[in-house]
């Protein structure tokens, strides 16, 4: 299946846009940029507090004397490390998720090309989620239709993104996303619903019957599939659309404010750079 020729542009602030040649180079925000607006503090704040407390507990449990305790308390480094620990863990787990996605892409590419047995080496720290993927594939009839396809939509003033896979699973074509976190959250469902809608609009000759999220458990090594009907996808798409409209509205406001500041700056009187040689008074 041909992939639309659109270009991903990574921005300095960590967000990204996609340039759409078919729309004269118009730029649309990525799906993950839109879903990045979803408030995740309800789950992340307790997690960060718990992981920081765990770090400090492990440090202090190693203390055997009052002298060692005093040395730790006076060492500013431990407090700096404690503040950074949650971010470090989050980045490490994100890197694992990226490598699991790369493994999945290789596996599905082998399946799609039909080049025999799947034999892909993995690092020990991502072995369990990769095992979960293989177990899910072996327990179902999975045929890859499209992998890492770039899609876009003009709905909600426009968005674009790269979906993980369009798969025929047990005879039903669906848009699937792979996650390695502790659970499946609303942000994930909004993301896949956006891909589902864009893919279905772009490839109308295909009968896309569902969207799915396959959670690959990093602790148990078991797959945890979640499947959603088109009606459920539409419900999540409606919510995604609100976030998309909010993003575009904020960008419009920021542009107006920048333009107003630039115009106001032009109207300011010019201040001479040099003082006159003689005092006019």
The verdict on residue 269 lying in a domain is no
Number of domains in the chain: 1
pLDDT of residue 91: 74
- CA 83/CA 58 separation, integer angstroms: 15
- CA 43/CA 59 separation, integer angstroms: 25
Closest of 18, 15, 24 to residue 150, by C-alpha: 18
The verdict on residue 240 lying in a domain is yes
114 has pLDDT over 90: no
Mean pLDDT to the nearest integer, 169-179: 96
The verdict on residue 65 lying in a domain is yes
Phi, psi of 177 (to 5 degrees): -130, 145
Strand order in the sheet with 7-10: 7-10, 16-20, 26-29
Closest of 168, 147, 169, 145 to residue 102, by C-alpha: 147
Which tens digit of pLDDT belongs to each residue from 42-93? Answer: 666 776 777 777 777 777 777 777 777 677 666 667 777 777 777 776 677 7
- CA 187/CA 193 separation, integer angstroms: 10
pTM recorded for the entire structure: 0.79
Mean pLDDT to the nearest integer, 250-279: 81
The verdict on residue 54 lying in a domain is yes
> Residue 16: enclosing H or E segment and its boundaries?
strand 16-20
pLDDT of residue 43: 64
Put residue 14 in one of left, alpha, beta given phi > 0 → left and psi -120 to 50 → alpha. left
215 has pLDDT over 60: yes
The verdict on residue 130 lying in a domain is yes
pLDDT of residue 2: 55
The verdict on residue 278 lying in a domain is no
The verdict on residue 273 lying in a domain is no
Listed range (73-77, 207-211, 238-242, 246-250) with the worst mean pLDDT: 73-77
Residue 34's CATH number: 3.40.1350.10
Written as six digits, the tokens of 264 are 């106001």
The verdict on residue 118 lying in a domain is yes
pLDDT of residue 7: 85
248 has pLDDT over 80: yes
4 has pLDDT over 80: no
3 has pLDDT over 60: no
pLDDT of residue 67: 73
Q: 253: pLDDT confidence band, cut at 50, 70 and 90? A: very high
Is beta strand 142-147 parallel, antiparallel or unpaired with respect to 26-29?
unpaired
* pLDDT, greater one: 207 or 268: 207
Domain with 147 in it? 7-263
């Amino acid at each position: 299946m041909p992939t639309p020729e659109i270009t991903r542009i990574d921005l300095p602030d960590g967000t990204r846009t996609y340039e759409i040649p078919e729309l004269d180079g118009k730029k649309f925000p990525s799906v993950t940029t839109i879903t990045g607006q979803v408030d995740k503090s309800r789950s992340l704040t307790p997690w960060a507090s718990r992981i920081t407390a765990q770090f400090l507990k492990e440090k202090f449990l190693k203390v055997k004397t009052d002298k060692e305790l005093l040395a730790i308390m006076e060492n500013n480094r431990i407090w700096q490390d404690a503040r950074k620990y949650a971010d470090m863990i989050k980045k490490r787990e994100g890197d694992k998720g990226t490598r699991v996605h790369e493994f999945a892409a290789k596996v599905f590419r082998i399946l799609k090309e039909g080049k025999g047995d799947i034999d892909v080496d993995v690092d020990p720290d991502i072995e369990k989620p990769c095992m979960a993927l293989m177990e899910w594939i072996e327990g179902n009839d999975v045929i890859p239709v499209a992998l890492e396809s770039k899609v876009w939509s003009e709905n909600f003033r426009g968005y674009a993104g790269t979906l993980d896979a369009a798969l025929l699973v047990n005879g039903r074509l669906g848009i699937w996303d792979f996650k390695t976190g502790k659970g499946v959250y609303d942000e994930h469902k909004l993301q896949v619903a956006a891909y589902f809608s864009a893919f279905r609009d772009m490839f109308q000759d295909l009968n896309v019957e569902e969207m799915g999220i396959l959670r690959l458990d990093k602790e148990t090594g078991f797959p945890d599939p979640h499947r959603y009907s088109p009606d459920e996808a539409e419900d999540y798409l409606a919510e995604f659309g609100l976030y998309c409209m909010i993003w575009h509205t904020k960008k419009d406001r920021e542009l107006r404010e920048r333009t107003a500041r630039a115009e106001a700056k032009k109207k300011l009187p010019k201040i001479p750079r040099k003082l006159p040689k003689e005092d006019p008074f």
